[in-house]
Structures are given as C-alpha cells and as structure tokens.
Amino acid sequence: MTKHVPNLNAQKIKGGVATDQRHDSAHKHVSGTAVYIDDMPEPAGILHGCLGLSTATHATITRMDLSAVRTAPGVVDVLTAKDIPGENDISPTGRHDEPVLADGKVEFYGQPIFCVIAETREEARRATRLAKVEYRQLPFVTDIGELDPRKGKLVTPPLTLRRGDAAAAIKAAPRRLKGKMRLGGQEHFYLEGHIAMAIPGEDQDVTIYSSTQHPSEVQHMVSHALGVPSHAVTVEIRRMGGGFGGKETQGNQFAALAAIAAKRHHRAVKIRPDRDDDMTATGKRHDFLIDYEVGFDDDGNILGVDFMFAARCGFSSDLSGPVTDRALFHCDNTYFWPNVHAQSAPLYTNTVSNTAFRGFGGPQGMVGAERVIDEVAFAVGKDPLEIRKKNFYGDKEGDRNITPYHQTVEDNVIQRIVAELEASSNYARRRREISAFNNNSRFIKRGLALMPVKFGISFTATHYNQAGALVHVYTDGSVHLNHGGTEMGQGLYLKVAQVVAEEFQIDLDQVKITATTTGKVPNTSATAASSGSDLNGMAAQNAARQIKERLTNFASEKYQVPRDQVLFLPNRVRVGNQEIPFGDLVKQAYMARIQLSAAGFYKTPKIHWNRDKGEGRPFYYFAYGASCSEVSVDTLTGEYVVERTDILHETGRSLNRAIDLGQIEGGFIQGMGWLTTEELWWDDKGRLRTHAPSTYKIPLASDRPKIFNVKLADWSEANEPTVHRSKAVGEPPFPLGMSVLHALSDAVASVADHRICPRLDAPATPERVLMAIERLKQEAAKPA
C-alpha cells in the first residue's frame, strides 16, 4: 500500500462523520478476500470437534455407550460432562440452568450430550453417529398453546407493567373486545454459522477466535468451564458473517468445548457445526401467544388495554427474561394507552432455549399493539391508519406522553414521519385505487397498510450501557483504533473510525481498524440493543479527545500561544499564525514525551430501571420510522407478492447515510421474512423439522418489493447528546416489516368487504393466508 500523503490545503477531511462511505470490508466481502475464522490458516496439528446431539426430547439417559465413537478412525477424544474441569454451565444470566454438555438428563431434542475431537472435521462428524444412547422418556411440552400462561412453569420471573386501572377502564368503556394472536419465532440464518478455534498457550492461557457478538461473555464462560481466571482467556473476533443476536450467547458452548479440548491435548481445536446441527442446537427468536382485551369508544379512542405475552423460551432462561421484558416495553409501540396492564409469561418448554434476535422482543410487543389497533378499526368501521393517528402519543408538553413503564416520551416525531410518508406514498389515492381494483378483480386482491414504529434505545440492564476504547497515535500521525464493539456486517467499525477521524481531523484512511479482543479493551458489553455506535463511538471519541487535549496543551506551551489559538484543521493543526502537518506535531509531541495513547470510556447517562416496581427510564431515547406496503394476493392459492414499499426512517444526524440506508433495507426485509415465509415447525416427537434451507424459507432477492423507496428523515436529530447527534439504526427498522403483514391482512379483509377483522397470525405463509380467506368467506356468508 502506498504511503498516505495528506492534502494540507483541504477544506474537509476524507471520510469524516456525516459522509457516505462504503463499508470498510465491502470489497473484500464481494471478492471473497475478507478473512473469517474458517479462512484463517490452521495451526499445525489442529484437531476438529463435532457435537453429539440427543435423540430424545425430554428424558433421563440410562446408558451411553461411546466405545465405538472412541475407536472410530481419527478420533482423539470424546468429551462428556464429567470431562469439564470447571463448571458445567454457560447460562449468561447466572441461573445455572444451561449445561455445556447434558449430564444424565436431556431437555430438548438435539441437546449436546458429548463432543468428538478428531484429526479431521469429517472424521469427527462420522464418529458422532456411532454413539449408542438409551433413554427413559419423560413427558414433554413443545407448544405453549398447551400451557396456561398463569400456571405454566417459568424459566425466569415474569414482569408486570401497569398504569391507571385497565380492568376498570375496559369494563366502563362503551365498547370492548378480546382476542388472541399467535406469533412465530425466527431462525437467525447468518451466512457464517457458529465457529470457534482455540489455541492453547503457556500455563493456563488459551486464545480463542470466536464468532461472537460478546467476546467478554465468551471469555467469562470459558474461564468458568476451564476453572481458570478470566485473565487466562483471550477472545478475539475481527468479523462475523452475520449475527442478528444469535451470536450474543450461543457461541459460548462451542468456545468452551474447543478450549477444554485444546488444553487437554495441547493442540489447537476448531469446532464448526454444519447448518443442520447449528439450527437444531442453537436458540432462535421467541415465539409468542398474545392475549389482549381492549376497551374503546365509538370513535376508536382506546381507553384501556390488557395484555398477556406468553413466550416459548425453551429449556433454560438464556436471555428470555430481558427479551420478554422488552416485549412489554414495546406493547405500546407509538400509542398512548390511558390505562394499561401488561404481563409476561416466559414459559418453559422442551425446545432449544430461545435467545436474542434483532429487536430482542420489541417487535413482538409492537405486533401485539398493532393487532389491537386493527381490531378497534374493524369494530368501528374506520381505516386502521385513522385509528393509529388518533391514538398516537402526544407532544412532551401534554399529558398523553407517559409509557406503561412511566417513562416520559420527550422526542416524539411520529406524527410528522407518518404525515410525510402518507403524502409521499400517495396513501389516500392508492387506498381509493385499491378499493376500485378489488371490486373489479375476482381472484386477485390487493392490500395496503401504513405502519409506525417507536423503538427504545439502550440495554434494559442498565449496567450494560458502558463501553471502552483504546486509541494509539503513532509518530507518523497514523492512528490505531480498538474498541469493545464487534463487526457483523453492520458497519460499526467504519462508523467508529469516522468518529475518530473527525475528532483528529485526519483522513479516514489514516485510522486503522483492528479486531476486537478482550486483551485490549476489557469487560465489554455485547454488540446488541442497537447501541454499538452510540456506546463505542462515544468511548472512542473520549479517547481521541484525551490525546487531542494533550496535543493542544503541548502546542500551546511549545509555541507560547493561548490554547484557543490551537485549532485542528483537515490533516494539519493551526498554532497561532502557522500551520503544522498533523504528523509533524505528533512527532514533536513524542520527542517531548507526551503520551499519545488513551483508553476511552463512556456510560449512558440518565437511564435507570426498577424492575420490581415496573417503573423508570430504561431508554435513553427512541428511534422512529414508518413503512407503507402494498401487496397482491391470489385468493385461490394464498400466494402473494409485495408490489411496493415506501419507508421513511430517522437516524438523527446520520454518521454514514450509505450504511444506514443499507441497515434499513436489510432490517425491513428480515422483518418481512419473519412475518411471512419463515416458519419454525416441531413434530409431535419434539423434533425441529425446519433445520435447513430446504425447509426453512428466508426471503430471496426476488421477494423484495417490486418498488422499494427508502428515505431518511433529513430533518431529524437526537434530542440527547449522542455521538454527533446520530441515532441507532440496527434494530429499529426491523419492525417496519409489519406493514407487509398488515397489507396482507387488508387484502384478506377485502373478501368480506372489510367487515370482519381477519386476525391473521404470523408467519402469514400462503397456507395461513388461504385459510384466513376461506374462514372470512364462511363468516361473511353467515346470516346477520
């Protein structure tokens, strides 16, 4: 690479904040040169691991004969629970309910019970099939529909939110109704599956390359499993091939087993499950059964609402507590409920333990809110959009701005976003055109829906809202950047580098992005909750400002000028009436023994949460957006296409519009897939049967809307002092996919002249759409 020659006459740096920059690895992604863990050169003598999975859904193991496995070609070792030197537990919340390997009892079909270590991956995979395991079957439950959410076994304590008296308001309301909605889960389907490579070191040391969103948690879990201090374990990750929440906790198991085997045999060990095992043995988005009751008046004003959110959590707690909490936090979406009662039921089932997934329960809460809005709209015979707007939160000066968890909404812009999108998408005109089309079309029906989104930004576990960063400035003026955030394709590394370049006023190519490692920045939080840029950007900015402050003081003292006459310009520093190249000033500072390295830190202010009371300010701010989708449905088959989608979303003062637009487009498509084609299905023996792309259908490029208009709200900015007044963009766009589900519902409703709420559950597969159409036809044909 040629040496960087800065333009000392430039008016702006190349690649600062608020500029459109390509993803730092985009050219490597498309050319196949981006190095993922499985692309790394393997150390000599490396061994490979493969998990042996249970073939019972809930049972005690009466006999496990692994003799044929141990004598299979290439097999070096077979690990079982008794071979774990430390603690046989990888539960992220410390509830000690998730073993590394099952010990005597299995609680879901596909639970890891042993791990084969062999010379090659193929030998390890073949050997796992030779195990002879006998079980004594126990009763099992996989479907939460069979459980009473108030009496079922829970994996973690439930949460209740209340404001006002929902029961009294519903009872006194002029009109009321109740219903139930089933909402499916979702497989992460990251392009790169789980993988871990452990390399043993001296004494207790081990280095692990793990495809994880949470290196510090992997470090802690591995240290517990090995029975060694955290300082003995170093975890590093340069990039993941997708994460979506599925690599927040689920990588712990693979890393722990690789590390145990590596230390036992003093050889590097790599574990990379195939896609079927990955989908079978790792957690997914929580599916929910949502019970609701609502009281309202003849105009569609909602007076009281009561929710029960029952979730299929699987056999252990994992992150089900905070996921179901966040579902309740978003059961209002953009609406003010004058009286509200909402309760969660994180239910135990004999399925894989469900985990984080983009939105972390928030989208499930919003879907429940939107079902209530639709029910009220059909009951009073009005356009659902009219009911939505009627029940929006008010401005911060009024009394319609308190959430069910007693946080004041201070930054509400949803009215403006919806109004602008309603106009730009020509909603009213298209509503009339679609009505005329449906009246003249016998088999093809069209539907239209415009949906708002309000998403809370922060970890609801307050202590996670912190970040660290490490910045070095070298004597030639180039910069080394490291922070606790992880890169999974979302562009976090690039955004944080832009923040540092902006702070020093140097070109972006002068900032070196480096792999996340626990050896440089300790005690990091997961890259999750859409907080990656907010937290790590501010921490890196803090580190850069420390160095900048030292350089300013040095220049002021050396050149005998006031501090306010030291000004950082593009690639140079003005000191009094002279300008010095940035690299030259850095070299002078080094010669004067000025420290050119800093550890930055940031913690989110203002937030607090009392779970016992169900009150506080769990979110620093909210991100808003809206989407309008139009679909065409074949009423003979239930098949459908998305004709057009318009999105208006706000990201504050965007750090990088190109990256943000990509996140919005991708989030929408992923959310659309969750609510339409992606169906998880367990058979009557408790086996997940949708464990490969042959049976699990994610959206294809051909499934995208034929017309896809995505725009940022350029007028938006964060009302709190976030990094350059930007807003998070990882999770908030995901629920925008609701507009497709509700457009399908609108099309289905047309077969009964919009007199009956379709109550279309999700995922709205063609089969489910067809069944809803037939049900509405039958109901419409009944005598009044």
Tell me: the pLDDT tens digits for 495-514? 999 999 999 999 999 999 99
- Per-residue pLDDT, averaged over 83-101, amounts to 96
How many other CB atoms are found less than 10 A from the CB of residue 577? Answer: 8
Question: Over the stretch 37-72, which tens digit does the pLDDT of each residue have?
Answer: 999 999 999 999 999 999 999 999 999 999 999 999
Question: Over the stretch 531-569, which tens digit does the pLDDT of each residue have?
Answer: 999 999 999 999 999 999 999 999 999 999 999 999 999
Question: Over the stretch 740-756, which tens digit does the pLDDT of each residue have?
Answer: 999 999 999 999 999 99
By the 8 A CB rule, do 494 and 512 touch?
Answer: no
pLDDT of residue 577 exceeding 50, the answer is yes
- Per-residue pLDDT, averaged over 319-331, amounts to 98
Bridge partners (DSSP) listed for residue 512 = 480
Question: Over the stretch 472-495, which tens digit does the pLDDT of each residue have?
Answer: 999 999 999 999 999 999 999 999
Distance CA 389, CA 392 (A): 5
Residues in the chain: 784
pLDDT of residue 240 exceeding 70, the answer is yes
- Tell me which amino acid residue 91 is: S
* SS3 of residue 132 by DSSP: strand
Q: Could you tell me the two tokens for 559?
A: 């050149």
> What is the 3-state composition of the chain as percent helix, strand, coil, each rounded to the nearest 5?
30, 25, 45
Question: Over the stretch 168-223, which tens digit does the pLDDT of each residue have?
Answer: 999 999 999 999 999 999 999 999 999 999 999 999 999 999 999 999 999 999 99
pLDDT at site 554: 98
Write out the H or E segment, with its range, that includes residue 200.
strand 196-200
pLDDT at site 532: 95
By the 8 A CB rule, do 326 and 460 touch?
Answer: yes
By the 8 A CB rule, do 598 and 709 touch?
Answer: no
pLDDT of residue 2 exceeding 90, the answer is no
Query: What Å distances lie between residue 704 and 675, 733, 737, CA to CA?
Result: 14, 15, 11
By the 8 A CB rule, do 588 and 616 touch?
Answer: no
The chain-wide mean pLDDT, for the chain, equals 97
Residue 731 annotated as catalytic: yes
Question: Over the stretch 7-48, which tens digit does the pLDDT of each residue have?
Answer: 667 789 999 999 999 999 999 999 999 999 999 999 999 999
pLDDT of residue 602 exceeding 90, the answer is yes
pLDDT at site 456: 98
- Per-residue pLDDT, averaged over 289-306, amounts to 98
The interaxial angle of helices 738-749 and 766-781, nearest 10 deg, is 30
pLDDT at site 1: 45
Task: Tell me which long-range contacts 551-560 makes (C-beta under 8 A, separation of at least 24).
Answer: 551/585, 551/586, 551/589, 551/594, 554/588, 554/589, 554/592, 554/594, 555/580, 555/585, 558/588, 558/592
Q: What is the 3-state secondary structure (H, E, C) of 712-768?
A: ECCCCCCCCCCHHHECCCCCCCHHHHHHHHHHHHHHHHHHHCCCCCCCCCECCCHHH
Counting residues of the chain whose pLDDT is more than 70, the rounded percentage is 99
Sign of CA dihedral 513, 619, 653, 489: positive
User: Catalytic: which of 731, 767, 774, 779?
Assistant: 731
Counting residues of the chain whose pLDDT is more than 90, the rounded percentage is 97
pLDDT of residue 784 exceeding 80, the answer is no
pLDDT of residue 5 exceeding 80, the answer is no
Q: Label the pairing between strands 47-53 and 112-118.
A: antiparallel
Distance CA 352, CA 218 (A): 19
Q: How confident is the model at residue 4 (pLDDT cuts 50, 70, 90)?
A: low
Q: Could you tell me the two tokens for 38?
A: 């499985």
Distance CA 76, CA 212 (A): 27
Q: What are phi and psi of 656, to 5 degrees?
A: -160, 100
DSSP E strands in 438-478: the ranges are 444-457, 466-473
